[in-house]
Structure 1
C-alpha cells in the first residue's frame, strides 16, 4: 500500500508499466469538472471510475480485495477515511470473489485507519484488503484508477 500526494507521483511510476500513464491522467485532466462514471484510458488495462458521494460508517464498512486490478484512489475534493488490513491476516471471505465485480469482501475489521485528503492518493495491491469511503455523510469526490496487474 502507498499513501502520498500527487505531487510525488514520479516516485511510483517505476512500480508498474501503466503507472506513468495513470498519473499523467490525474495530472492533466480537469478532475473538478469531469463527469462521474467510467472512463476508458487504455481499454481494460487502465480505466477510471469517477464518483462523488457520501460514504458508509465504521459500523457498515466491508474490507474488499481485487485479484486482477491495482487501485490508485485519488481524492479530488473532501477527505476519504480509509482502512487497510493485510490479506494474509484476513479470515475467509463472507462474500467470495466474484469475477464480474472483480472483488471479494471480508468480515474482518481493521484498526489501521487513515485520512486521505484532496490532492492525495493511495495505491492498493491485490494483497491489500481495504475499505474506502468510510466517511459517513461527508461527500467525497474521487477517481479510482483500475490498473491491470498484468499490464
Structure 2
C-alpha cells in the first residue's frame, strides 16, 4: 500500500509498466470536468472510474480485495477516509471473490485508518485489503484507476 501526493508520482513509474500512463492521465486530465462513470484509457488494461458522493460510516464499511487489478485511488475534491489491513491477516470473506466484479469482501475491521486529501493518492495491490469512502455524509470526488496485474 502506498499513500502519496500526485507531485511525487514519478517515484512509482517503475512499479508497473502502465503506472506512468496512469499518472499522466491524473496529471493531464481536467478531472473536475470528467463525468462520473467508467472511462477506458487503454482498454481493460487501464481504465478510470470517476465517482462523486458521500460515503459510508465506520459502522458500515467492508474491507475489499481485488485479484485482477491494482487500484490507484486519487482524490480530486474533499478528503477520503480509508482503512487498510494485510490480506494475510484477514478471516474468510463473508462475500467470496466474484470474478466479474473482481472483488471479495471481508468482515474484518481495519487496523490502520488514514485520511487522503485532494491531490493525494493511494495504491492498493491485490494483497491489500482496503476500505475507501468511509466519509459518512462528507462528499468526495475521486477517480479509481484500475491497472491490470501483470502475470509472469
TM-score (norm. length: structure 1):
0.99
Q: Hey, what does 2:50 align to over in structure 1?
A: 50
Report deviation, 1:4. Answer: 0.1
User: In 2, Cα distance between the equivalents of 1:35 and 1:60?
Assistant: 27
In the alignment of these two chains, the number of paired residues is: 151
SS at match of 1:116: strand
Report deviation, 1:23. Answer: 0.1
Q: Hey, what does 2:19 align to over in structure 1?
A: 19
User: In 2, Cα distance between the equivalents of 1:75 and 1:110?
Assistant: 20
Q: Is residue 2:96 matched to residue 1:103?
A: no
SS at match of 1:24: helix
SS at match of 2:10: helix
Q: Deviations 1:93-142 (Å, cap 9, x if unpaired)?
A: 00000011110000000120000000000000000000000000000000
**Structure 2 counterparts to residues 2-151 of structure 1, below 5 A:** 2-150=2-150
User: In 2, Cα distance between the equivalents of 1:13 and 1:41?
Assistant: 17
CA RMSD of aligned residues (A): 0.7
* Structure 2: gaps spanning 5 or more residues: none
User: In 1, Cα distance between the equivalents of 2:53 and 2:45?
Assistant: 25
User: In 1, Cα distance between the equivalents of 2:6 and 2:113?
Assistant: 20
Report deviation, 1:150. Answer: 1.5
Structure 1 stretches of at least 4 aligned residues deviating more than 4 Å after TM superposition: none
